[in-house]
Structure 1
Amino acid sequence: MLELRPNCECCDRDLPPESLDARICSFECTYCNACADTHLNGRCPNCSGELVRRPVRPVAKLAANPPSILRLLKAGRCDAAGA
């Protein structure tokens, strides 16, 4: 099951589970559309994998399968990603 992380690892923007603006790599690193396009050129700075839109978990499934509350940030934020 995907770990729905609550924020962009680059700018710390909130990305709730219903957000259509969240992008992830195959390791579930999470970024907002703006950082993915502007700073990261569609590639994860951690694994170089493609960043794709994160699926939305159906609301009815959130109670039994809640999103993560752990906020992750890259050291230096977008600057560390080569911005």
Structure 2
Amino acid sequence: MGLEMRNQCEKCSRGMMDHSDAYICIHECTFCSSCTERMNSLCPNCGGELVRRPKAGKVIRS
């Protein structure tokens, strides 16, 4: 099961692309880097740690 790649910050509604820096908690709440910094990397919804969301990329199969 993959992550839900949300396309906007839940705090300021700033738009984010798959390759944008974004931060998520265990429940996939999504925030931009500016809001994450202001919130001291803590999710305002669950109190969990916000960590950098993986960026989308091309799958290479051998």
Q: How many residues align?
A: 58
Normalising by the residue count of structure 2, what TM-score does the alignment of the two structures yield? 0.86
In proportion to residue count, which structure has more helix? 1
Matches within 5 A, 1:30-45: 30-38=30-38, 40-45=39-44
Identity %: 50
Matches within 5 A, 1:1-83: 1-19=2-20, 21-38=21-38, 40-59=39-58
Structure 2, unmatched stretches of 5+, are none
Deviation at 1:2, TM superposition (A): 0.3
Structure 1, unmatched stretches of 5+, are 61-83
CA RMSD, 1 decimal: 1.0
Identify which of structures 1 and 2 has the higher relative contact order when contacts are C-alpha pairs closer than 8 Å and 6+ apart. 1
